[in-house]
C-alpha cells in the first residue's frame, strides 16, 4: 500500500515538473515575458537595411569621407599655387600727396612750387618671369602630387569600407548575442522553477535551488554585458556613418547578399603592387626624387620683365603720364646656404620615402597573408564551434530530462546550462567573424569606388 502511494506521488511530481519546465524552444517564443530583463533592448533610432544604405549615409554624413575628398581639392590648390610664379602679375596703385612746405622758384611769368602742393598719381605694374626653370619643374611636380593624393583617397575609401563592414557585422553579432542571452536567461529561470518545484514536493534540496539561483544571476550578468556591447557597437557604426544617433542593422540583412554587395563596390586587385597604398608609396618616392632635382635647380638664373605706367596730376618737371619697361636677370650667387640645406633635406626625404615604400609593401604582404589565413581559421573554428554547440544542446537536454526524473544533481544541471550558453554565444560570434573575414579578404587589396 505504501509503495503504491510512493509511486503515485512520484508520478504526480514528474507531471508537475513536465508542466513547469517545458522545452526551451517553446519558452523562447514566449511573447509575454514575466521577467523585466527578458524584454529586448530598445530599437536604435536609425536602422539601415543594406550595404547601399550604408554607403549613401557615408557619402552625405561621414566626416572622414568628406575630409578625404577635400584632400584632393587641397592638392589641386597647391598645384595652382605652384603655377602662380610662372604667370604675370598685375598690381595697381594710387596715391594722393599734400605738401605743407614748398620751395617757390620763379620761372618767368609763373612760379614753380617744389614739391607740388597737391599731387594725385595712379599707376599699374606688370611683372613676369618667363624663364624660371625651377618653377616650371615644381609646377610639374605639384601635378604629380595631385595623382598621389587621389591614390591616398582611394586607399582611405578602402579603409572606410573595411571599418563599416566590421561595424555592421559587429552590430548584427551584438543583436544576436543579446537575443541568445535572453534565451539563456529564460532557460535559467526555467531551471530555477524546476528546482523550486522539486523542493516543494520533497524531491530536492535547498542547495539545488541556490545553485539554480546562481545560474540565473550569471545569465542576468550576460544580459547586462551583452546589451551594453550592443549599444556600443551601434555607436561605433553611427560614427563610421556620420550619424549623431545610434545606428542598427536590420536583422533581415542576408549575409551572402551583403558580401556580394561589398564585392561589387570594391574590386579586388590581382597583384599586391596595384594596391592603392602601395602605388601611392611608390609615387611618393618619385616625388621625393623630383624634390632633389628641384633643389639642384636652385642655382639657375631667372629672367623676368617688368612694365610700368603712371599718371600724375601735377608732376614736377615732367609729363603727366609716364611709361617704362625693364628686363631683370637674377643670378643667385649666394643665399646663406639655403639651397645646400634644401638639397640635403630632399635627399634624406628621398631615403625616407624608399624606406616607407618597403614598409608598406611588407605590411601589405603580411596583412594579405594574415587575412587569407584568418578566413580559413574562422571557418574551421566555426565548424568546431557548431559541433560543440550541438553536443552542448544534447547534453543539456539529457541533463534536464534526467533531473526531472530524479537523475543527476543540480550541479550537472547548472554546468550543462552554462556550457550551452557559452557554446551558443561563441557560435553566433564566429558566424559573423567568418563573414567579416571573407569581406576583409576582398577589401584587403581592393579599389573601392563610392
Quick one: what percent of the chain has pLDDT higher than 70? 92
pLDDT computed for residue 118 by the predictor: 85
- Sign for the pseudo-dihedral over CA of 46, 48, 49, 52: positive
Q: Residue 48 pairs with which residues in a beta bridge?
A: 249
Give residue-wise pLDDT tens across range 59-105.
998 999 999 999 999 999 999 999 999 999 999 999 998 888 777 77
Give residue-wise pLDDT tens across range 175-210.
999 999 999 999 899 889 988 888 888 777 888 889
DSSP code of 314? S
Fold of 15-86+135-298+338-448: Outer membrane efflux proteins (OEP) (1.20.1600)
Mean pLDDT of 393-420: 86
H/E segment holding residue 32: none
Give residue-wise pLDDT tens across range 307-362.
999 998 878 767 888 899 999 999 998 888 898 999 999 999 999 999 999 999 99
Mean pLDDT of the chain: 86
Candidates 333, 336, 346, 341; CA nearest to 294 is 346
Give residue-wise pLDDT tens across range 26-55.
344 444 457 899 999 999 999 999 999 999
Domain ranges of the chain: 15-86+135-298+338-448, 88-131+300-334
What distance in Å separates the CA atoms of residue 155 and residue 446, rounded to the nearest whole number?
9
pLDDT computed for residue 302 by the predictor: 93
Report whether 54 contacts 168 (CB < 8 A).
yes
What distance in Å separates the CA atoms of residue 239 and residue 61, rounded to the nearest whole number?
9
Asked if the domains at 15-86+135-298+338-448 and 88-131+300-334 fall in one CATH topology, the answer is no
pLDDT computed for residue 33 by the predictor: 57
pLDDT computed for residue 16 by the predictor: 40
pLDDT computed for residue 51 by the predictor: 93
Please say if the pLDDT value at position 21 is more than 90. no
What distance in Å separates the CA atoms of residue 101 and residue 314, rounded to the nearest whole number?
16
pLDDT computed for residue 15 by the predictor: 41
CATH architecture of 88-131+300-334: Single Sheet (2.20)
- Three-state SS at 21: coil
Give residue-wise pLDDT tens across range 283-321.
999 999 999 999 999 999 999 999 999 998 878 767 888
Question: Which of 115 and 133 is assigned the larger pLDDT?
Answer: 133
**For cell 523585466, what's the residue?**
36
Mean pLDDT of 418-431: 90
Mean pLDDT of 6-28: 41
Amino acid at each position: 500500500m505504501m509503495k503504491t502511494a510512493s509511486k503515485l506521488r512520484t508520478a504526480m511530481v514528474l507531471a508537475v515538473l513536465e508542466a513547469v519546465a517545458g522545452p526551451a524552444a517553446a519558452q523562447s517564443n514566449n511573447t509575454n515575458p514575466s521577467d523585466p530583463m527578458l524584454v529586448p533592448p530598445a530599437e536604435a533610432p536609425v536602422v539601415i537595411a543594406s550595404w547601399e544604405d550604408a554607403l549613401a549615409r557615408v557619402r552625405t554624413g561621414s566626416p572622414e569621407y568628406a575630409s578625404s575628398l577635400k584632400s584632393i581639392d587641397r592638392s589641386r590648390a597647391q598645384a595652382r599655387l605652384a603655377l602662380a610664379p610662372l604667370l604675370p602679375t598685375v598690381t595697381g596703385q594710387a596715391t594722393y600727396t599734400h605738401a605743407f612746405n614748398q620751395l617757390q622758384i620763379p620761372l618767368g611769368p609763373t612760379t614753380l612750387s617744389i614739391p607740388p602742393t597737391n599731387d594725385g598719381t595712379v599707376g599699374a605694374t606688370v611683372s613676369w618671369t618667363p624663364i624660371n626653370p625651377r618653377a616650371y619643374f615644381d609646377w610639374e611636380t605639384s601635378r604629380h602630387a595631385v595623382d598621389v593624393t587621389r591614390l591616398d583617397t582611394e586607399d582611405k575609401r578602402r579603409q572606410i569600407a573595411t571599418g563599416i563592414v566590421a561595424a555592421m557585422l559587429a552590430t548584427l553579432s551584438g543583436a544576436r548575442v543579446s537575443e541568445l542571452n535572453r534565451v539563456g536567461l529564460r532557460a535559467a529561470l526555467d531551471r530555477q522553477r524546476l528546482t523550486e518545484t522539486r523542493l516543494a514536493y520533497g524531491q530536492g534540496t535547498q542547495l539545488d535551488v541556490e545553485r539554480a539561483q546562481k545560474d540565473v544571476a550569471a545569465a542576468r550578468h550576460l544580459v547586462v554585458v551583452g546589451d551594453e556591447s550592443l549599444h556600443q557597437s551601434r555607436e561605433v557604426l553611427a560614427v563610421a556613418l556620420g550619424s549623431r544617433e545610434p545606428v542598427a542593422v536590420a536583422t533581415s540583412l542576408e549575409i551572402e547578399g551583403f558580401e556580394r554587395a561589398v564585392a561589387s563596390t570594391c574590386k579586388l586587385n590581382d597583384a599586391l603592387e596595384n594596391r592603392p597604398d602601395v602605388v601611392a608609396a611608390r609615387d611618393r618616392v618619385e616625388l621625393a626624387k623630383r624634390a632633389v632635382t628641384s633643389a639642384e635647380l636652385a642655382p639657375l638664373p631667372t629672367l623676368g620683365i617688368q612694365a610700368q605706367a603712371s599718371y600724375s596730376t601735377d608732376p614736377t618737371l615732367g609729363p603727366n603720364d609716364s611709361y617704362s619697361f625693364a628686363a631683370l636677370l637674377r643670378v643667385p650667387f649666394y643665399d646663406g646656404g639655403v639651397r645646400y640645406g634644401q638639397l640635403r633635406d630632399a635627399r634624406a626625404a628621398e631615403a625616407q620615402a624608399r624606406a616607407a615604400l618597403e614598409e608598406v609593401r611588407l605590411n601589405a604582404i603580411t596583412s594579405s597573408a594574415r587575412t587569407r589565413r584568418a578566413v580559413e581559421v574562422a571557418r574551421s573554428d566555426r565548424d568546431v564551434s557548431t559541433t560543440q554547440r550541438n553536443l552542448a544542446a544534447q547534453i543539456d537536454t539529457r541533463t534536464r530530462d534526467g533531473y526531472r526524473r530524479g537523475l543527476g544533481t543540480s550541479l550537472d544541471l547548472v554546468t550543462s546550462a552554462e556550457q550551452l550558453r557559452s557554446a551558443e554565444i561563441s557560435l553566433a560570434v564566429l558566424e559573423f567573424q567568418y563573414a567579416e573575414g571573407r569581406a576583409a579578404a576582398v577589401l584587403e587589396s581592393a579599389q573601392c569606388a563610392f
